[in-house]
Structure 1
Amino acid sequence: MDNIIKEEIIDVKEKPYAIKIQAMNGYPIHWHENITEVLMPLEDSIEVYANFEHILVKKGDFWIVNNKTIHSVKSSSKVMVAVFHIDLNYYEKYFEYIKYMFFRNNMYSEDNVIIESDNYDDDKRSSYKVRFRNLLISVLTDATSNDKIAKELTKDSIYQLVAFMVKEFDWLKFANKSNKNFSPLQLNRYHRSIKYIDENYKDKITLDDIANNEYITKNYLSHLWRNLSYFSFQERLNYERVMKSGFLLLTANMSISSISESCGFSDVKYYYLHFKRWYGCSPLEFKKRCLDFMHINLSYEDLELDNMAKIIEDYIKNIILPEYARENIWNTTELFDNYVRMKYLYKIDKITPQRPPRNVSIDILNTNNFKMIKNIPYFNWQNIDLLVNFSETSNFDFNIKIECEKINNKNFKKVVGKFLNSCIYRYSEITIAKWVFFIFYSDEMSFKRANAIGDLIESKIENAKIKYFFEV
């Protein structure tokens, strides 16, 4: 069993992340301590085995492997895979309970068969996944660049990745189908409970223990658990015990009864019951499956990042930009030129930082960003996404420019309404509430339109920041 290892990521001792591109037809069974791993195939697809799940990750998608997850990778042919390792110890100072968060970018499989990484059942989450994937590519663009300034941007981009992951890919986002807004206090209580379970799963612990630590009633905490995660406290405790038993099955020469006892189960039959619930098989069958996997001929090699720029450029042109250029509204050449121009903004800001206040703006009715085709408004979300990401990463205020002269009375509500709804959908109300809307008018007719647009913005965004300008 020596080949089933805890893999140390040496690079994160120098910086809080490690990025590599590997050519592989598979990767052996392993896990990481306090590391989150993100896998993104740059060609074809890969199969990821993570604890009890078997996931097909296609080109154009990614998979988040959680802290202390036993996992491996397999592919039918040698493919290039981007691998990101994020040091949770470092990011704990920004996100206190990040080591106890469970990140999810798809739904669970119901019957332990292979699932596809894009089987999410929520269009909004699909949009978030696209943004996260594009952030990964942005990081790779910097990491594979020969430009020193570009490489220095990587740390900022990784922070944005982590912040986005915490905000949108915490398991609680998937469990919370009612879209209730839970307070930071409630979320922290939940994550402290997970931490307590992680540290005490071997012992006989109860919901009363955690409730006493939190100075709240057992009933309140039980209700909070159900509302937040769909799992009861006992279900989550048994899940943790089963996952911990996986390490012992693969690394320790112990009997099943000894493993059961050391993981906190009072009776071995309960261990079998809960193990089968998650893995769909017995502990010994799982162990055999892993041993069989070890005998598969797997090969992998690290590729030089400095030689990968063309691969990343092709990925952008073949995967990302066609998504934005659908229906031939914008061609991929224009989009790629804009992508390069936006990346140049990062570089300029790094060399010669703008004096405060730092602002970036986009004219949403400019022909580069907006087109009206058969009375249907289309926006260039590639440009908008890049600028939003830039403003969030580089601490710029984000401004929206709306020139009333560029839109007529018949369509302005449809156009501005669609833009606002799409932004709320893509970036969240919290993000948009920080933006400033600059509305320009030049005569009495456009003045009335400006006021109507302002009313529309205020109806969508609470405490919206709006400034009106008379333009000569």
Structure 2
Amino acid sequence: DMEVVYVLEGSVILRNGYYTYNLKQGDIFILNDREMHSFQRTDEDNLVMMFQMDLTYFSRYYDSLKNNFFVTDVEDDSDESLEVLRNLLAKIMMEIIQKGYGYEHKVIESTHNLIACLLSDFQYFVMENGRFKNEMKNKGNKILAGRLNRITDYMYDNYTRKLTLSEIADREHLSIYYLSHIIKEATGLSFQDLLSYIRVEESERLLLGTNKKIGAIAEETGFSAVRYYIKHFEHWFGMHPLEYRKKYIGKIISRDIEAKYKLATPAQIESAIRKQVKGIYADYADKFKAKPVIIDIDIYDDYAEVESEPPVMSEIMERDVNKVLAEPYRKMMEMQENIISSGENYIVSTKCKYPGALDSLSILMYNFDENTGRNLRKILNRDDLLRIVRNYENEMEFLVRCTGLSGTFRIIRYRLGKESFLAKIVHEADSGARESVRENLINKLTSEGNISTGSYISSDALSVRTIFEGIGAELILIDKV
């Protein structure tokens, strides 16, 4: 799991591996997967949010998320991206505390935006004065950052065996010299030093979490000899592995050891919130078995390919027999926007004429599978449509990830679910029949779409998530405030 620590009040001492950090109000610290850590109070009271993310769940959407390395600079209070993180964490926390209607969905969606922010602004790092420091904005090269992610992913996955610079260079189709240069430029370390760091870092869990002998730990983490393990461990941790074990065993809190808090302290409340958040992810992981539909939109790349042909969906929605289903589609088409991406059951468009001035985005999504799409192209009457809508019960999850959007955005969502479409179809068929006031009201309320509004602050990437059970549609309007 990955944990985000956000100090809301007071201060706290965080020990992360060998290093100690004094976190004050407003600071955010990322505890990456596999990092062992502990907390210690200062002489003032504190209130700390500890937001734990289940990486197994979110890795369904983000490749290699478990091996990403995120760093926040706790000494840079002026970083605007930190303010974005604070807003997202506050939104998540309030949703969990208030437990309003649909709060689980809102928490998941906000977490996607949190991860998008981390991937955009907090995963590029250099080594400075013996510590990792975030420099994504200074480097400004996300292509290089992506390549470095692949390299470090591979190193974390293969550090237990003999691993060479030549092997990775071949995988990346780079010369050994250039690969060595970009690793040194990005991390301040040579390839061999970075590999040794990863091995030593991984050995800490075995050192403090097991009773294995030093020789066994050295072999298990890829060192060819115990003396090399001791040498590199002393370089990074400042002491012999056995001395480190004696000094810190039982004091570092791992993922499997519950922290010991005094009764009625804020830490207990935070622990309860953390458990609730983990439960949300577990529920969703059990419920949604189908592979999610992930739509990646790069505002600059996709805008260069504005689609001139009618969207594929038009073959279904412009048939008269499907006019009830087509209501959200017609609303979108009436805006006459530029379509920048579309598929069998989604459309993404914008009213802006060029990406530099892009301040709005429209997203339309429908839940029907390929087979249902074929049937909707062939049906001849209302009864056929009614049968399809009634019988289609598949679940579908959409995640739209937009990069290139920065600022504060208002999001309006217009949603029609299965029951709404059924009510519309039945009401249209019985429009000539006499209905009681009550029946008329029920049909009207059931057939109306659900409208919700919200806002998000984005530094570069914005994620929008929606879930359907049975036939459904959602039109989402995103506008810069």
TM-score (norm 2): 0.51
One-letter identity of the residue aligned with 1:227: E
One-letter identity of the residue aligned with 1:80: L
State the partner residue of 2:37. Answer: 71
State the partner residue of 2:181. Answer: 223
C-alpha contact (below 8 Å) 1:101/1:171 kept by paired residues: no
Task: Give the Cα separation in 2 of the matches to 1:242 and 1:163.
Answer: 29
One-letter identity of the residue aligned with 1:225: I
SS at match of 1:60: coil
Aligned ranges 1:146-225 → 2 under 5 Å: 146-172=99-125, 174=133, 176=135, 179-184=138-143, 186-225=144-183
Stretches of structure 1 lacking an aligned partner (at least 5 in a row)? 1-34, 107-117, 309-352, 361-386, 396-425, 433-472
Distance 1:103 1:183, change over 3 A: closer
Q: What is the Cα deviation at residue 204 of structure 1? A: 1.6
Q: Is 1:44 the counterpart of 2:10 in the alignment?
A: yes
C-alpha contact (below 8 Å) 2:7/2:25 kept by paired residues: yes
Task: Give the Cα separation in 1 of the matches to 2:411 and 2:151.
Answer: 31
SS at match of 2:223: coil
Q: What is the Cα deviation at residue 208 of structure 1? A: 0.6
State the partner residue of 2:64. Answer: 97
Distance 1:149 1:183, change over 3 A: closer
Structure 1 residues 83-111: Cα deviation after superposition (integer angstroms, max 9, x where no partner): 211122333344323222111112xxxxx
Q: Is 1:127 the counterpart of 2:53 in the alignment?
A: no
Task: Give the Cα separation in 1 of the matches to 2:411 and 2:179.
Answer: 35
Structure 1 residues 99-156: Cα deviation after superposition (integer angstroms, max 9, x where no partner): 22111112xxxxxxxxxxx323x84xx2221221122112112221142145532221
Structure 1 residues 404-423: Cα deviation after superposition (integer angstroms, max 9, x where no partner): xxxxxxxxxxxxxxxxxxxx
Stretches of structure 2 lacking an aligned partner (at least 5 in a row)? 127-132, 254-258, 277-327, 336-348, 352-405, 415-456, 463-481
Structure 1 residues 148-207: Cα deviation after superposition (integer angstroms, max 9, x where no partner): 1455322211111110011111143746589344353x4333222212211221212110
One-letter identity of the residue aligned with 1:172: F
Task: Give the Cα separation in 2 of the matches to 1:262 and 1:215.
Answer: 29
State the partner residue of 1:82. Answer: 49
Q: What is the Cα deviation at residue 294 of structure 1? A: 7.0
Q: Is 1:388 the counterpart of 2:407 in the alignment?
A: yes
One-letter identity of the residue aligned with 1:99: K
Task: Give the Cα separation in 2 of the matches to 1:238 and 1:152.
Answer: 41
Structure 1 residues 272-301: Cα deviation after superposition (integer angstroms, max 9, x where no partner): 222122222221222122236379974353
Q: Is 1:281 the counterpart of 2:200 in the alignment?
A: no
One-letter identity of the residue aligned with 1:43: E
Q: What is the Cα deviation at residue 79 of structure 1? A: 3.9
One-letter identity of the residue aligned with 1:159: H
One-letter identity of the residue aligned with 2:40: K
- 1 or 2, which has the higher helix percentage? 1
Distance 1:394 1:261, change over 3 A: farther
One-letter identity of the residue aligned with 2:62: F
Task: Give the Cα separation in 2 of the matches to 1:154 and 1:250.
Answer: 34
Cα RMSD, aligned residues only: 3.9
TM-score (norm 1): 0.52
Q: Tell me how many residue pairs correspond in the alignment.
A: 284
C-alpha contact (below 8 Å) 1:98/1:166 kept by paired residues: no
Distance 1:191 1:43, change over 3 A: same
Structure 1 residues 4-46: Cα deviation after superposition (integer angstroms, max 9, x where no partner): xxxxxxxxxxxxxxxxxxxxxxxxxxxxxxx110112332211
C-alpha contact (below 8 Å) 2:13/2:22 kept by paired residues: yes
State the partner residue of 2:301. Answer: none
Task: Give the Cα separation in 1 of the matches to 2:124 and 2:251.
Answer: 28
SS at match of 2:14: strand
SS at match of 1:236: helix
State the partner residue of 1:55. Answer: 21
Task: Give the Cα separation in 1 of the matches to 2:230 and 2:100.
Answer: 55
Task: Give the Cα separation in 2 of the matches to 1:87 and 1:245.
Answer: 23
C-alpha contact (below 8 Å) 1:36/1:67 kept by paired residues: yes
Task: Give the Cα separation in 1 of the matches to 2:35 and 2:124.
Answer: 15
State the partner residue of 1:290. Answer: 248
State the partner residue of 1:142. Answer: 95
Aligned ranges 1:243-254 → 2 under 5 Å: 243-254=201-212
Q: What is the Cα deviation at residue 427 of structure 1? A: 6.6
Distance 1:192 1:256, change over 3 A: same
C-alpha contact (below 8 Å) 1:42/1:79 kept by paired residues: yes
One-letter identity of the residue aligned with 2:407: V
Structure 1 residues 248-291: Cα deviation after superposition (integer angstroms, max 9, x where no partner): 11122222233223222223232222212222222122212223
C-alpha contact (below 8 Å) 2:123/2:136 kept by paired residues: no
Q: What is the Cα deviation at residue 78 of structure 1? A: 6.2
Moved more, 148-157 or 194-203: 148-157
Q: What is the Cα deviation at residue 393 of structure 1? A: 10
Q: What is the Cα deviation at residue 48 of structure 1? A: 1.3
Task: Give the Cα separation in 1 of the matches to 2:206 and 2:461.
Answer: 44
- Larger Rg: 1 or 2? 2
